[in-house]
Each structure stands twice: as structure tokens, then as C-alpha cells.
Amino acid sequence: MQLANLKISARLALLGAFFFLALLIVGLRGWSALDAASARSAHAMQRSVALTEAIDTARSAQVEFKIQVQEWKNILLRGGDAAAFQRYREAFVASGAQTRKELKQLQALMTGLQLDAAAVERAVQAHDALGVAYLAALQQYDGARAGSAQAVDAQVKGMDREPTRQIDAIVAAIGKQSHSLMTQMTEQDEAAHHSATLAMLLTVLVTLLIGSVTVWWLVRSITRPLSAAVGIARQVAAGDLRAVVADSGRNEIGDLLRALKTMSATWPASSGACATAPRRLPRRRAKLPAATWTCPRAPKSRPVRWNRRPPR
């Protein structure tokens, strides 16, 4: 079906359907932007929680290693009797196991955050070597012998410095990486928000542009032939039957123009019949009802009109 043949009601329905479709497109675009923003927020929250957990785990490992070193000192200073020696030794081993466990947890968290976990692995290896060396040195400890503690401590002197330095460096590095990641996530969120805003604005502008063109076309397709029909009707009303009536499609306006064309084509014949009517009427006036009809000559500026003479 050609667009020119669409009825006015169909064109108005088409206009309404277009705006409903535009509203649907804008709504879906907005919903998509909100859904993407929600997904980004959820992802950022997960990373933030993981970063916080990594920082807490690193600091906990740092504290636990210091406790382990303190338990080593308790063995040498207060482990003179067998019961105290065993208690402090078990505490030293337990602190070492807890430190290693937390370092491994930290390594897994950093891997999940896509951060470099090589430093944590080196710290674990250094801590394992320290534990082996400390326990081997304790084999030579004798609480009853004077100077035994100093001799044992001399064998492992300074070994805790490297694990301590590595763990402290890990804590500082995670804090710095956490700040960098938070800044990066904030920048990504702002960039995504800016992109979504531009996309939404572009969608609205394109919709408005297409809608404006559609409204202009529909208004023009209705008012232009309607104005032509009004002009032709005025010409015919003024007695000018030379108006050219163009076909305007199979719609309401086209029907109106065709009706005007038919009227302008049949009007001369009607005027001729009206002109000969007075010559025939006198012979039959007796047979007519009381009301008789006359057909005066119409001026060019006025349409032909039948006038009814009131009865005498």
C-alpha cells in the first residue's frame, strides 16, 4: 500500500505507534544503562571486599609472625624447665603454622584480584626456611646448661629479618595497590557513566529527529491536499468551474476532491436544465401544486441555487 493512500486515521495511528516505539526504545536504553551500572557497582563492591580482606589478611600474617618471633624468645628466656619449654615450643609452632596459612590465603586473594603474588610466595619460602632452622637449633637447647640459650640464638641470629622485611613490604604494597585499584575503579565508573549519558542523549536526539521528520511528513501529507480541496471548493462556490482537481489518493481527502471534481463537471448541465425550466413550467402550472418553482439566473460570483416561491 502506498503512503499516499493511507487514510488520515491510519496516519494518526502510525504517528502514535511511532511515538510508542520511540518511548520503548528510550526506556530499554535507560534500563540497559541502569543494568550495566548495577553490574559495575556489584563488581566494584566485590573487588573492594576482596581488597579489604587481602589487607586484613596481610596485616594479620604480619602480627602473627611477630608473635612467632616472640614465642621463640620465650623459649630461650623462659624455657628452663621442661613444661615451660614444651608450652613455648608448641606456641612457636602454632604461630608459625598460622602465619603460613594466612600467607597462603593472601596469595590466593591476590591471585583472584589479578595482583602480583610472587612476593607472597617468596615470603612463604623464607618463613618455611626460618621455621626449619629454628626447630633444628632447638635440638641443641639445654635449659640446665648455662649459655645454651645464647648459643642456640646465635645459630639463627638475624634470620627473622628477611621474612619480616618481606611481609612488611607485602602489607605496604597491598595498601598501595588497593588505593590504585580503587582509583582505577572510580575512573572506570565515571567513564562508563559518561558513555552511558552520551548514548542516552544520542538516542533521545535521534528519536526526536526522526519523530520531528515523521510529524512534519504526516502534517504535510494531510494539510497540503486538504488546503487544495478548500481552495477548489471556494473556486466552485464562486462559480468558477474551470478548477483542475488532481487525484490525491484513496483516502478521505481524495474522496473529497473526487466529489468536487464530479460536482464541477455536472454543474453546467444542471445550470442548462435550470435555464429551460421556466419555458416549460407555464404550460403545466395548472397541474402543479400551489408551490411553484423558479430558477433565476445566477451571477458568476454566486453558485446556482434553487429558490422556492412561497404559495399565494
- Which pTM was predicted? 0.56
294, pLDDT greater than 70: no
The structural domains of the chain, with segments of one domain joined by +, span 11-200, 252-308
Annotate the chain with DSSP letters as a single string. --GGG--HHHHHHHHHHHHHHHHHHHHHHHHHHHHHHHHHHHHHHHHHHHHHHHHHHHHHHHHHHHHHHHHHHHHHHH--SHHHHHHHHHHHHHHHHHHHHHHHHHHHHHHHTT---HHHHHHHHHHHHHHHHHHHHHTT--TTSTTHHHHHHHHTTTTTHHHHHHHHHHHHHHHHHHHHHHHHHHHHHHHHHHHHHHHHHHHHHHHHHHHHHHHHHHHHHHHHHHHHHHHHHHHHHTT----------SSHHHHHHHHHHHHHHHHHHHHHHHHHHHHHTGGGGGGS-S--EE-PPPPTTS----EEPPP-
Q: What is the pLDDT of residue 245?
A: 63
Q: How confident is the model at residue 97 (pLDDT cuts 50, 70, 90)?
A: very high
Q: What is the pLDDT of residue 267?
A: 65
128, pLDDT greater than 90: yes
Arch. (CATH architecture) of 11-200:
Up-down Bundle (1.20)
